[in-house]
């Protein structure tokens, strides 16, 4: 009997451009394989679980007898960001794209934001996080003006130096923006982007916070919670779901802290779901075109995998997948429209089952509900019967 699912999202580790990638400008993107080829890494533990047995992943030899079950998923939602990806995998696909602002936010939005925060806002354009700090970080430090920018995603980002705008004050400004950005301007996320340092050496900190919309309908998290089971969100999971369907949450500093906290909860007496997002792949390496960092990040996680496997109970299932791509080898710094890899492992599961190409991320959430025997989500097809022993 399965009592607990440990669900780990390797944020942005996509595995190849989707058939509609041309619409998004992402032809040729393959975060996993392009990184593996560029850095010559060999993540042996992920390989042993079957990562390189997935259809179409040919950057390393496959495993003759993989310990895990493996496949990849297509995204049916309109988008390629964290919120859209996580919502779809938990049972809420987004057929209508969330609003984006390639030319900046409307005048009335910015005027209301300035009125309520009592601070001037500068930038109001698309930019990379590092680029905007190079351009306007010094101006912000000298004036206290808030740096507001966006990207190809549905986001309203506010950057501020921690010594100029205290963290709690920045969070309050994000809450103000979240209240303003509703209805037709309901962006997926308002993001606090605190940074430290001096001109020429500004660094974003781990005090980032995301203020998401609530999912428009119940997710598998809600169904697990209503069954009086635990839903433990680690990393930015709480932010992505606006704390809906979560019973306990913990923010983390980086990927390895995320693994540490996951292991800590695995050693405790809980049943239900431990849901972890490892965001550094995306925030520290994908968006910064840091292919060497991305490769090292994959290896760092791979080196921790044995600890995770050793601490699994017989009644545990481990699911590892991504939520979109963010190929550090491609031009630009935005997310990429990619398949996501999927691995499922457990002592009560079969080994080496090829789950093929799943028609939606929601197949994962449907399977989680099936494994935990809670109310199913409407979307997706469970693959429990394909992987469970007996």
Question: Mean pLDDT score of the chain, rounded to an integer?
Answer: 96
Sign of torsion over alpha carbons 350, 273, 70, 219: positive
Whole-number percent of the chain with pLDDT over 90: 95
Sheet architecture: strand order including 230-234? 248-250, 230-234, 272-278, 4-10, 316-321, 340-345, 69-73, 354-358
Name the band, by pLDDT with cuts 50, 70 and 90, for residue 333. confident
Helix H or strand E segment including 203: strand 201-204
| 174: phi then psi, degrees, rounded to nearest 5 | -65, -40
Name the band, by pLDDT with cuts 50, 70 and 90, for residue 3. very high
Name the band, by pLDDT with cuts 50, 70 and 90, for residue 371. very high
* Over residues 161-166, mean pLDDT: 98
The alpha carbon torsion through 335, 244, 262, 42 (nearest 10 deg) reads -20
* Over residues 315-326, mean pLDDT: 98
Residue 134 above 90 pLDDT? yes
- Look up residue 229 and give its DSSP letter: -
Helix (H, G, I), strand (E, B) or coil at 243: coil
Residue 71 above 90 pLDDT? yes
* Over residues 146-156, mean pLDDT: 94
* Over residues 75-93, mean pLDDT: 95
Say if CB 326 and CB 336 are below 8 A apart. Answer: yes
- Look up residue 51 and give its DSSP letter: G
Residue 172 above 90 pLDDT? yes
- Look up residue 325 and give its DSSP letter: B
C-alpha 384: how far from its chain's center? 24
Strand partners, 230: 272
* Over residues 77-93, mean pLDDT: 95
Say if CB 195 and CB 202 are below 8 A apart. Answer: yes
Q: Tell me what pLDDT residue 206 has.
A: 86
Residue 95 above 90 pLDDT? no
Name the band, by pLDDT with cuts 50, 70 and 90, for residue 94. confident
Whole-number percent of the chain with pLDDT over 70: 100
Q: Tell me what pLDDT residue 119 has.
A: 98
Helix (H, G, I), strand (E, B) or coil at 351: coil
Residue 98 above 90 pLDDT? no
Q: Tell me what pLDDT residue 390 has.
A: 78
Distance between CA 81 and CA 20 in Å, rounded? 15
Say if CB 274 and CB 5 are below 8 A apart. Answer: yes
Residue 16 above 90 pLDDT? yes
Furthest-apart CA pair in the chain: how many Å? 67
The answer for residues whose C-beta is within 8 angstroms of residue 36's C-beta and 6 or more apart is 59, 60, 295, 298
Q: Tell me what pLDDT residue 285 has.
A: 96
Residue 62 above 90 pLDDT? yes
pLDDT digit string (tens) for 19-59?
Answer: 999 999 999 999 999 999 999 999 999 999 999 999 999 99
Q: Tell me what pLDDT residue 337 has.
A: 97
Distance between CA 3 and CA 145 in Å, rounded? 50
Residue 302 above 90 pLDDT? yes
Structure tokens at 345: 């492992």
pLDDT digit string (tens) for 236-293?
Answer: 999 999 999 999 999 999 999 999 999 999 999 999 999 999 999 999 999 999 999 9
Say if CB 123 and CB 140 are below 8 A apart. Answer: no
pLDDT digit string (tens) for 339-358?
Answer: 999 999 999 999 999 999 99
Domains and CATH numbers, the chain: 4-92+215-387 (3.40.720.10), 107-211 (3.30.70.1250)
Q: Read off the pTM.
A: 0.89
- Look up residue 89 and give its DSSP letter: H
């Amino acid at each position: 009997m399965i009592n607990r699912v440990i669900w780990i999202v390797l944020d942005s580790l996509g595995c190849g451009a989707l058939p509609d990638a041309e619409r998004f400008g992402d032809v040729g993107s393959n975060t996993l394989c392009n990184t593996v080829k560029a850095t010559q890494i060999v993540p042996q533990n992920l390989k042993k679980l079957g990562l390189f047995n997935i259809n179409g992943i040919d950057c390393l030899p496959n495993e003759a007898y993989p310990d895990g079950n493996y496949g990849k998923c297509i995204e049916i939602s309109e988008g390629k960001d964290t919120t859209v990806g996580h919502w779809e995998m938990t049972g809420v696909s987004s057929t209508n794209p969330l609003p984006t602002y390639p030319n900046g936010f409307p005048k009335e939005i910015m005027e209301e934001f300035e009125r309520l925060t009592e601070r001037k806002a500068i930038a109001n354009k698309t930019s990379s996080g590092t680029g905007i700090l190079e351009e306007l970080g010094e101006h912000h430090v000298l004036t206290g003006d808030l740096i507001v920018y966006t990207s190809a995603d549905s986001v309203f980002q506010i950057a501020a130096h921690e010594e100029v705008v205290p963290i709690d004050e920045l969070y309050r400004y994000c809450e103000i923006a979240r209240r303003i950005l509703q209805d037709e301007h309901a962006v997926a996320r308002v993001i606090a982007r605190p940074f430290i340092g001096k001109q020429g050496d500004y660094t974003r900190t781990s005090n980032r916070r995301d203020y998401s919309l609530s999912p428009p309908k119940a997710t598998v998290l809600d169904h697990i919670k209503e069954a009086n089971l635990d839903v433990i969100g680690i990393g930015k999971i709480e932010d992505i779901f606006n704390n809906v369907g979560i019973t306990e949450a913990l923010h983390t500093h980086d990927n390895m802290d995320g693994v540490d906290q996951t292991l800590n909860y695995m050693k405790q007496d809980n049943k239900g779901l431990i849901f972890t997002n490892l965001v550094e792949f995306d925030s520290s390496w994908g968006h910064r075109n840091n292919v060497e960092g991305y490769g090292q990040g994959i290896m760092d996680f791979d080196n921790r995998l044995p600890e995770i496997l050793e601490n699994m109970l017989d009644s545990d299932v481990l699911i590892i997948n991504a939520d979109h791509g963010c190929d550090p080898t491609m031009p630009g710094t935005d997310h990429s429209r990619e398949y996501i890899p999927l691995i499922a492992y457990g002592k009560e599961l079969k080994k080496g089952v090829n789950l093929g190409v799943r028609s939606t991320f929601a197949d994962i959430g449907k399977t989680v509900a099936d494994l935990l025997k809670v109310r199913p989500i409407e979307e997706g097809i469970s693959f429990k019967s394909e992987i469970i022993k007996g």
